[in-house]
Structure 1
Amino acid sequence: MEIQGRMIELTAKLKQVQNQMRNKEGEKKRAFLTLEEIRPLADDANTYKSIGTSFVLEPKSVLVNEQEQKLKDSENAIASLQTSKEYIEKQIGEIMSMTVM
Structure 2
Amino acid sequence: MEPKFDPAVVEVLEAFGRRLSAGSPDAVSADDILAGMPALEQDGSRARVILKQLVSEGLLEERTPAAETTAGTYSLTRLGRARIEQRDRPDDD
Q: TM-score, normalised by structure 2?
A: 0.32
Larger CA Rg, structure 1 vs 2: 1
Higher helix content, 1 or 2: 1
| Structure having greater relative contact order (Cα 8 Å, sep ≥ 6) | 1
